Structures are given as C-alpha cells and as structure tokens.
Amino acid sequence: MYASKIKLPPFDQVPGDIDPKWILDVGANIGDVSLAALKTYPGCQVICFEPVGETFETLKNRVAPYKDRIKLFNQALSDSNGVGEINITSFHGANSIAKQSRTHSRLNPHVSEIGKEKISLVRLDDVAHQFEGCKIDIMKIDVEGHEYEVIQGGVNFIKDNVDTIIIEASLMRDESWERQSIVDIFSLLSEMGFRLINVFDLHYAPNSKLMCAQMDCVFRHKSKLI
C-alpha cells in the first residue's frame, strides 16, 4: 500500500521518499502519533513503548481497531534494565522519568507533579530481538527529557537499523545552564551517523532567558543522504 496523499503530523515533516514498513514510537503516550502513522501509511506496522499504566490502557483502547498492525510494550526504553520510577503529572503528556525542572514548571504552570509510579525499564539493544529483522523507517522519541538515555540504550540497534528519527529536544527540562541535553543528543546522533535535516514545532518562551523552550528535530542516517 502507498502512503496517504495527506500526511498527518508529524509525518508531514519527514522526507517524502519514505514509505515506511515499520515505525517505532517511543513514548507513545495515548497514541496520537501511532494513530497518525497508521492512517498516513496504510501499509506500515507500528511498535509502541509506553510505561505508565493508565496511559498504556488508553493507548491500547485507542489503537484496538489496528491491533493486527501494532505491537505494544508497557515499558520505558532507557539506558539500563530494571525497575524505575516515573513522575506522574497533572497532564499525561508531561509524565517524565526526569524530575520537573524549575524552568519547566515556570513555563508550564498548568503542569505539576502529583505522584510517582514504578515502571519497567529496558534497553532497546536488549529487547530488539523481539522484532528482529525489522528495519525501522521512522523512529519517534518523545520522552520528556529522557531522550538521551533512550538513544544510549539502543546505540547498536539504532545506528544499524533506523533510517529517520523524529525527536523532541527540550531545553526547559535541563536543571541548569551547565549542561544542555540537546548538545549531548546531537553529538551522540552525529557519532552514530545521523544528520539533522529539519526542525519544526518550535515553542518559544516569551519573557524568559531561554527564548526557545523546545522543538522537534528530524535526523536521517547519512547513508540515505548520498
């Protein structure tokens, strides 16, 4: 099957020559991006990772009509295996393993931490055998400040099996100016052979020293850019 002529966000921001067979949705939340993928690319299969129990149940119910095309994992991808803890917030889209920073709190007054939940942590490199042979055409990573750890835990699989990455880069999640995670993320992806090809959905922070709070970035493996 061919891709729909109308690409739903965020897939309107990736190269038009991609007609994905496999999409990996990391931080699937309630399934907005997964549903957009399933509708935009009728021939694709989607793999989802979402660790929060209540959010995972909502995801499972929403994608039920596409159950033959989707694989669901109630886990968080990270740089280690085991049991972790995630901060539950007043807005499900802001749940994060990272503690809410002062800047994030100031720029998002509607978001507050209201509890914690034990979750399963897994490294992508250690679970990739469950979808062995799958070449991931598009990998989306939106994990509210835990993006670097996701990549670290999947370096070997990602560099050899992923074409394009859509990743949220948040400057407001950093605890201080001493270390900006976006720099670490860009450096690691560059070492793995990926190159930045697009930036979209920039969120500005008026009356803040930060100016730009977060953005979505598209990286593509350099082997696809020749």
Q: Is the pTM of this model over 0.85?
A: yes
Kindly tell me if the per-residue pLDDT of 93 is higher than 90.
Answer: no
Pick the residue with more confidence: 178 or 92? 92
Kindly tell me if the per-residue pLDDT of 4 is higher than 70.
Answer: no
Domains (ranges, CATH) in the chain?
20-85+117-224 (3.40.50.150)
Once rounded to an integer, what is the mean pLDDT over residues 90-117?
Answer: 90
Beta-bridge partner residues of 219: 165, 196
Once rounded to an integer, what is the mean pLDDT over residues 51-59?
Answer: 98
Kindly tell me if the per-residue pLDDT of 76 is higher than 70.
Answer: yes
Kindly tell me if the per-residue pLDDT of 2 is higher than 80.
Answer: no
Q: Phi, psi at residue 214, to the nearest 5°?
A: -165, 165
Write out the H or E segment, with its range, that includes residue 23: strand 22-26
pLDDT at 103: 86
Q: Does residue 10 have a cis bond before it (omega within 30 degrees)?
A: yes
Which pLDDT tens digit goes with each residue over 181-191? 999 999 999 99
Picking from 25, 4, 9, the residue whose alpha carbon sits closest to that of residue 75 is 25
pLDDT at 106: 86
pLDDT at 1: 57
The model's confidence at residue 41, banded by pLDDT at 50, 70 and 90, is: very high
Once rounded to an integer, what is the mean pLDDT over residues 24-45?
Answer: 98
Residue 220: Cβ within 10 Å count: 21
CB 17 within 8 A of CB 163: no
Beta-bridge partner residues of 83: 120
Picking from 136, 205, 187, 125, the residue whose alpha carbon sits closest to that of residue 166 is 136
pLDDT at 3: 66
Once rounded to an integer, what is the mean pLDDT over residues 68-96?
Answer: 95
Which pLDDT tens digit goes with each residue over 152-161? 999 999 999 9
pLDDT at 68: 98
Average pLDDT, the chain: 94
Q: Between β-strands 22-26 and 45-49, what pairing exists: parallel, antiparallel or unpaired?
A: parallel
pLDDT at 141: 98
Which pLDDT tens digit goes with each residue over 10-31? 999 999 999 999 999 999 999 9
Q: Phi, psi at residue 50, to the nearest 5°?
A: -145, 115
